[in-house]
Chains A and B, each alone.
Chain A
Amino acid sequence: MGKGKFGIFGGQYVPETLMSAILELEQAYMYWSANQGFTDELNDLLARYAGRPSLLYFARKMTASLGGAKIYLKREDLNHTGSHKINNVLGQALLAKKMGKCRLIAETGAGQHGVAVATAAALMDMECEVYMGQEDMERQALNVYRMELLGAKVNPVTTGTATLKDAVNATMREWAGRMTDTHYCLGSVVGPHPFPTIVRDFQAVIGREIKEQIYAVEGRLPDTIIACVGGGSNAIGSFYEFIENESVELVGCEAAGKGVDTPENAATITNGSVGVFHGMKTYFCQDEFGQIAPVYSISAGLDYPGIGPEHASLFEQKRARYAPITDTEAVAAFEYLAKTEGIIPAIESAHAVAYALKYAPMLGRDKTIVVTLSGRGDKDVAAIARYKGVSVSE
């Protein structure tokens, strides 16, 4: 039986060529994560470079307008580079540096992870190449230029559906050909062990802060935590600290695209089945013959056919539940949060907001909900305008 299992999920389903690289990474992570100097260095970067802790903001107007549970927003959008991605990237880049690697490669969907990797590479004097689906490069043109400004090379991926899944394929292929000096800085809690564990550990700071911050203002645990799920890194980061606190309800919001009853969605738990791909056993959107489905979401960051294996396990154990949110609901939530709280969330994060809009009114005023805003929405403004049929020139 292989390592890195969450129940039956996870594992190390990679070509033999890559085994040495992931075993090397696992050993390095075991060594450095137990090293106080490494932890201090990372915490210093998180505090002084990324701007942690991020705020836990009481959304007074949103709470009042919904008339139910109190809503807090965990403001990962306020981190340097504008999303939670920097938490994981600083950790992995520092680890790669300790391993003697001088080059980072990464996949990106919306571009948030790519921007974070390019940023860390610039900061730590490393070379950086990002793989991004051609379609996503068009959807997120500003982020492409941002990565280039930071000194990264962005490689368009034209194979398959030319989105996040294909960017992961391309990055894995690149890594299989160049491992000695290169670290694959995987952006979510997906892929072969040890990635789901490493990324979760680096993102768990979100939940630890939530716990401390909510205790400071409410004096108790929240009732519900809501986060969007593509691969699921901001969600697992938000949930992890609370898994043992069984009174806390954990809700992941997956992209239902044009609807879970249409072919155009990326609702992995709702519509998927168990499979093995990208190094892990977990739920995937796929056909009866195990061909991975061409998924769709308005959000490039949630446009992924799988979900992290730990989420699959939380779902099977009924410890977390996963709710599908359509494009339409996400766009409405995007506009709602902008107008109500003066906060423009990433379209990914708007999926979590959308669920809160439906759910908060169903709960009493004595309940509290924490919604993780995984990123800011500046990158999405042009796409939302297009969606609404508004013409803007960037």
Chain B
Amino acid sequence: MWQPSQDIRGYPSVSKISQAFSAGKAFIPFITGGDPDIKTTEKLLYALYEAGADLIEIGIPFSDPIAEGPVIEAADERALRAGCTVEKLFDLVSRVRADINIPLLFMTYYNPIFVYGTSKFTKCCAESGIDGIIVPDLPFEERDELLEPCIAQGLKLISLIAPTSKDRIETIAQNSDGFIYCVSSIGVTGERHALDESARHMVAQVRLVTDIPCAVGFGISTAAQARKVAEFADGVIVGSAIVRLVGEYGQDCVAPVSQFAEEIKQAITDI
């Protein structure tokens, strides 16, 4: 079991997802765990935390990430080649948990969870200090088999909505917990030059039924885009743009990622 302690930013020692959204717009970076290696991931977690991340998504690499674009797919390949496993990521989270006092979420495909065993997986998550799980290929209709073990361990299973969700949004939103991950555009993850207006409409639709925080992801790659999204969303998720830096700089990625993260955080502060 991880022991909560006074953290390096002086926050009180509670790690709850709602806390991430309580002090302004949340900056939510994503990195692929174990890319390029576990040690660098550990440094990145500290760097992102110090750069002002309000919640961090750690990807558990999967051999066939069908919702990812080429940038994150390549990161998954690098991490798996470097020998990353879910167990090494549990260890990593346990190690950093006491110092990094913001919510940490795992994002992964359902198969690594299913094969590990949903009860065992959620138990290990809770023990290492993970706060929630995002599973892009587990839609509302199929989530019960993971939701029950999540609830048993006090983990949030984050719901996703997409521009194609339309009249599904109401049902999904009413049954969501933690926050809602709004997929900004159709297609796979990756940086986009222009973001369409879908996300704004989705957030508005959610607002009609619940006041749960809405974080928008997919395609946000610049500080200007992040700021634009933060005008209507409660949180901004940045994945591929960070992972691209990790791919580009390898073990030397901590400084450039840190700088980029600070820019994003800066851009969405005071909105």
Chain A 248-277 interface residues, beta-carbon cutoff 8 Å to B = 273-277
A231 to B163, CA, bound (A): 31
Give the contacting residue for B115; candidates A19, A275, A279; CB below 8 A. Answer: A275
Indicate whether A33 reaches chain B with its CB closer than 8 angstroms.
Answer: no
Residues in chain B near residue A18, CB distance under 8 A: 164
Q: For the complex formed, measure the closest distance between the CB of A360 and the CB atoms of chain B, giving whole angstroms.
A: 39
Give the contacting residue for A169; candidates B66, B86, B139; CB below 8 A. Answer: B66
Indicate whether A179 reaches chain B with its CB closer than 8 angstroms.
Answer: yes
* Stretch of B105-113, B207-215, B255-263 at the chain-chain interface: B105-113
Residues in chain A near residue B141, CB distance under 8 A: 2-3, 11-12, 19
Residues in chain B near residue A17, CB distance under 8 A: 67, 162-164, 183, 186-187
Residues in chain B near residue A279, CB distance under 8 A: 137
Across the two chains, which residue of chain B brings its CB closest to A275?
B111
* Stretch of A129-137, A170-178, A320-328 at the chain-chain interface: A170-178
Residues in chain B near residue A291, CB distance under 8 A: 62-63, 80, 112
Chain B 152-200 interface residues, beta-carbon cutoff 8 Å to A = 160-166, 168, 172, 183, 186-188
A178 to B164, CA, bound (A): 11
Whether the Cβ atoms of B162 and A16 lie closer than 8 Å is yes
Whether the Cβ atoms of A176 and B139 lie closer than 8 Å is no
Indicate whether A288 reaches chain B with its CB closer than 8 angstroms.
Answer: yes
Residues in chain A near residue B62, CB distance under 8 A: 290-291
Chain A interface residue bracket vs B: 35 or more
Residues in chain B near residue A276, CB distance under 8 A: 110-111, 114, 137
**Chain B window 115-139, contacts with chain A (Cβ cutoff 8 Å), 1 for yes, 0 for no:** 1100000000000000000001111
Whether the Cβ atoms of B64 and A176 lie closer than 8 Å is no
A288 to B63, CA, bound (A): 13
Whether the Cβ atoms of B111 and A292 lie closer than 8 Å is yes
Give the contacting residue for B139; candidates A1, A13, A166, A286; CB below 8 A. Answer: A13
A171 to B7, CA, bound (A): 46
Residues in chain B near residue A166, CB distance under 8 A: 64
| Contact A177-B186, Cβ < 8 Å, known A13-B138, A290-B115 | yes
Give the contacting residue for A15; candidates B77, B114, B116, B160; CB below 8 A. Answer: B160
Known contacts A15-B139, A173-B67; 16 further A-B pairs (Cβ under 8 A): A15-B162, A16-B140, A16-B165, A19-B139, A19-B140, A20-B168, A169-B64, A173-B187, A176-B187, A176-B188, A275-B114, A289-B115, A291-B62, A291-B63, A291-B112, A292-B111
Which residues of B pack against A, CB within 8 Å? Answer: 62-64, 66-67, 69-70, 73, 77, 80, 85-86, 109-116, 136-142, 144, 160-166, 168, 172, 183, 186-188
